[in-house]
Amino acid sequence: MSELKDRIKETIEREPVVAFVKGTHLQAYCGNSERAMQALRSVGASFVAVDVLPDPAIRQELSALSNWPTIPQVFIRGELVGGADIVQELAATGELESKLDEKLGVEWRNGGEERTIALTERENPFRLAR
Amino acid sequence: MTAPIEELLRRAFPEARELAVQDRTGGGDHFQVTVVSPRFNGLSLVDQHRLVYDALAAPMEDGTIHELRISTRGEQ
């Protein structure tokens, strides 16, 4: 297993809610990434974003790991919850909140700060945001 | 050009009760697909969408589909 794959796996397992997106939490460079992050925000869920753009290997390794071909990808407590369409649908029906309760307990409702983290040295998450 | 996409979906989901492909932007590479099939019963949305992605793997791979929006449900 490559080091990058390990880092992706660790991130998915460590962070309660993680969104792999094109861009950062501050600025999405893809409408679907924006839709997924907005859906999380709409229920008050804070999340960690990972920008896949700086290194194509992130996306390749992630998709191999998750068996999901597109970006964005949202994970809650290690489980792939979906891409933009599913996360948006679940937010609209109230199922996203149920899923967060089920996976994280009520803690997530206390909120938290959004941030973007780097997985590779090639990556500077704030490069695009300036 | 929605016909080739629809054809792939019809082949993958011959039992579908509802199947629609929409060119979202008119540019021929942003699509919205809707599939309603009893095959989705009992599957998570993630697994339902995986079946659609599988059916459209070729046009996604070669760039014919630049963006895909998916809406699926089982039969009520």
The whole-number pLDDT of residue A130 equals: 42
Question: CA of B30: how far to CAs of A34, A92, B56, in Å?
Answer: 16, 23, 13
The whole-number pLDDT of residue A127 equals: 55
Tokens of A101: 């309760």
Are A22 and A112 in contact, with CB atoms under 8 Å apart? no
In B, residues 11-70, which contact A (CB 8 Å cutoff)? 45-46, 49-50, 53, 57, 60, 67-70
Strands A17-21 and A48-51: parallel
Q: Which CATH number is associated with domain B3-73?
A: 3.30.300.90
The whole-number pLDDT of residue A111 equals: 87
Determine the Cα–Cα distance for residues B23 and B33; give it in Å rounded to an integer.
9
Residues 6+ apart with CB under 8 A from B24: B30, B31, B32, B67, B69
Task: Provide the residue type at B13 as one letter.
Answer: F
Min Cα distance A68 → chain B (Å) is 7
Chunk chain A into consecutive blocks of 10 residues (it has 130) and report each block's average pLDDT, rounded to whole numbers: 90 97 96 97 97 94 97 98 98 98 94 91 56
Ordered domains of chain A (ranges, CATH):
3-117 (3.40.30.10)
Q: Which residue of B57, B60, B70 is in closest CB contact with A85?
A: B70
The whole-number pLDDT of residue A124 equals: 58
Query: What predicted TM-score, i.e. pTM, was given to this entire model?
Result: 0.93
With vertex at residue A22, the alpha carbon angle to CA A19 and CA A26, rounded to the nearest 5 degrees, is 75
Overall average pLDDT of the B3-32 stretch: 96
The whole-number pLDDT of residue A126 equals: 56
Min Cα distance B26 → chain A (Å) is 17
